[in-house]
Structure formats: structure tokens, C-alpha cells
Amino acid sequence: MNEVLSMSHNQAKRNVHLNVFINGIGHHSAAWKHPLAQPGSELSLGYYAHIARIAERGLLDSLFMADGYAGTYRRLEPFTLFSALAALTEHIGFIATVGTTYNEPFHVARKFASLDHISGGRAAWNIVTGAQSAAHNFGRDEHPEVTKRYEIGDEFVEVVKQLWDSWEEDALVYDRSADVQLDSSKLHEINFKGSYYAVKGPLIIPRPPQGYPVLVQAGSSESGRELAAKTAEVIFTAQQTLGAAQQFYADVKSRLAKYGRTPDQLVIMPGLSPIVADTEAEAKDIEAEFGSLINMEQALKQLSQYFTVDLSEYPLDGPVPVDKSKPYGSLPGGITSRHEVVVDAARRDNMTIRQFVYRSAGGHGHVTFTGSVIQTADFIETWFKTGGADGFNLLPHVFPSGLETFVDKVIPELQNRGLFRTAYEGTTLRDNLGLTRPANRYSRVWALNREAN
């Protein structure tokens, strides 16, 4: 395992970390119908630049973009979008989702190295294995089962890391007097041969400024937790209660030691979908307004995937038939963690079907919170200080106004409580997350060999 050098800034004081999950018009399923929304702008660079500048004004860590290779997402390709946004911002980080099942390690290593260079060290990779629906877009008859997907993903990430390391830090010389641009002895063929990949190397671009772009993972399944403990530096997760968040937090952090890692080397960020106003009553009015815009027929059809019955055949103000939920792990593609979160929330809170629809429309299985500025800050502080989170992955109900309200009102309150930065700690995403910069495995081998001689 790579030895890690403490070459980047480590925060002396622990602060809340905040990421913004950018998702078209907003995370509420009916956001596009609201007068504050800007439907059609999700393909516009200016729209995302505005969101990025709001987040940067609020001193947030990063923007996160989910991605997939099938469906009707209407999303820009992450590398393309973030490369453009990097030129329009100075501090905000960029977390791009890239799947391992339908890509090649060499391409991914090169693209992330490029984004990290272009942004001056602000890139991060959200590592996913990919969804079943993508198989037929890549000439495959079937999607690998979950255990194999994680085996492929694990090997994929290892190849990418070795490719990033294939250039030593000082390989570029640019010695005019000696007429030497590149010290080729500091480029290394990795000659990787595994169960799924064979890659010679080296990469055709120098090592990223951060050593590795920050490694991010999303998922709460057993396989996901173990992969996160081994590989991830940030994990996005979904828990709807403080107790569940504390259990997840303690479990994943306890797994780090077996991989030679310490708890501060992994930032855990549950999803949070906040609706915020000056008063609780105003926030509840906003929540009700968005709820009134929901397409109930469509919502019931979507949520029925978790059950053996059609929810539209049950009374809206009657209880959710949780006894009719499908067994966990039975959904296509082996999806388990989100299934559990969604159904357990309905069982725990004794929801009516209408409440179930409203809750699910806002947070997609993540915790939702509606309240005043003070109440929202209280919620964040409680989860942060009691072992539930290192920060949050924010899912604003509507863009850009939902994010702007949070930045202009909640951030100052968190700063007043000493919970959030008043200036960025450094120039890279690793600096701002308090993460160390990984040592180059080949530089270490070279140094040891030189000492031995």
C-alpha cells in the first residue's frame, strides 16, 4: 500500500465540509415546474457557471455531478463541463462521476490528470461501478453481478493509481543548457497484469498536481463500505436519521485501520436536501408549494418499484404498505442501500402514501430538512458534533435560488458558530478537505535504490 506523505495542509481545527450536488433544475422532482426554476438551462455553461460562483462565494468545498450511460438524464458530460468551469472559478473543487464497468483505466487516468492540471489541483473522481441499464449501450448482453463489478472496480482503480504514479514529480526537466526536456528514467512502465486488465504504461501526461485527484465513492452497501474504507477519501452516503448516520460513520471509520489508514483520511458526507427560510413557517410553505406541483401518478409508479403491489391502488392518506415491500437486494442490478433507506423511512415514521411521495420527491432517499436558518444550522451542528458526519452533500430543492439561500443565510450562521471556514485553506481540493497528498510509489523505489547504491 502507498505510503502517504503529509505534504498538504492538515486542518488544526475540524470544520464542516460542504459539497453541492448539481442536478439540472434542482433535486425536487417537481422543481422544473416552479416559477423560480430555469428549465432548459441545464445544458447551458452560463447556468452552471452561475451555480459554481454561488458555491465559491459561500466557500463550499466542491461541486459534484452524478453521471450514467443510459436513460434520459439530459446531463452534460462531466469532464467537458468541469474543464470549462475550471477556467471560470478559482477555488471550488469538481467531483466527476465516472464508472469503471464501461470504461478503460488508461482513458480515465488521462482525463482526470488533465482535469487536475487544468483546474490547478481541484479534481475528484466519484468511483461507481455503473448501472445495469448501460450494458446494451456498450454491446454487452448483460451487466456483471455486484461482486464481480466491485472486483473489476477495485482493479480498475489500482491501475489508474499506478498510471498516475508512472511519472515522477521531477520528470520534466526543461534544461536548456543540456538540451533536455524530459528525464525518461523518471517515467515508468507499470506493466500491470491482473484478472481484468493488462496495461503497460506509462501515462502520456505528467502526474496530477494533487498526486491523485481526490477519490470519492457513493454507497452504503457492505461491498461499498469496504471499498470506501480501502480506497475512498470522501464518501457520499444516504441516512435519514442521526442514529443510522452515527452507525454508518462508526462502522466505516473502524474499517480504515486494516488498510493502514486513519479516521481523518476519510471525509463522510451524508446527503442533505434542505428547504430553508427565515422562519419555519415560511420554509413549510415553500415545501407545501413544491409538493403541490408533484405529478402524483408518476411518483406512485416510480415508488411502486420498491413494493410487490401498485401503490396507486391504495388510498393516498392511508399508510404505506411496508409489509408489501420487496426483499432488499431484489431490485435490478443488485441495488440494496437506497432501497433500504427509502422503505425504512416509511416504516419508521409511519408515513401515509402522500407523505411518502412528498418525502421521496425532495431527497431521493437522502435526509430532507425544512426549517428556519437557525434550525438548519442546529441540524448540521448536531450531526457534525455527535459522530454522524464530517459534512454534507447538499441537494438543493431548486437551482440556483435554493443554493443561494443556503449560502447567504446558513453559511454565515455556521461561521458565527465557528463551524465553517471564513477563507479557503489552500489552493487544491485536498488542501481544503484537509487530505494529505499521496506519495509517488515509483519515486520512493527510485530513492531507496539510490540510497542502496
Task: Give the Cα separation of 307 and 320 in Å (integer).
Answer: 10
Task: Give, as one character, the DSSP assignment of residue 319.
Answer: B
What SS3 class is residue 269?
strand
93 near 123, Cβ under 8 Å? yes
Task: Give the Cα separation of 244 and 7 in Å (integer).
Answer: 34
Q: How many C-beta neighbours within 10 Å does residue 287 have?
A: 19
Q: How many C-beta neighbours within 10 Å does residue 418 have?
A: 9
Residue 392 to residues 63, 76, 270, 404, 436: CA-CA distances in angstroms?
A: 12, 24, 5, 16, 20
Task: Give the Cα separation of 222 and 233 in Å (integer).
Answer: 17
Q: How many C-beta neighbours within 10 Å does residue 63 have?
A: 26
Task: Give the Cα separation of 265 and 259 in Å (integer).
Answer: 11
Nearest to 5 by CA among 451, 443, 429: 443
Q: Is 220 annotated as a binding residue?
A: yes
Instruction: Give Rg (Cα) of the chain.
Output: 23
Backbone torsions φ then ψ of 191, nearest 5 degrees: 45, 50
Q: Is 221 annotated as a binding residue?
A: yes
Task: Give the Cα separation of 236 and 17 in Å (integer).
Answer: 12
Q: Is 150 annotated as a binding residue?
A: yes
Q: How many C-beta neighbours within 10 Å does residue 264 have?
A: 15
Binding site as annotated, residues: 67, 97, 150, 220-221
Binding site as annotated, residues for FMN: 67, 97, 150, 220-221
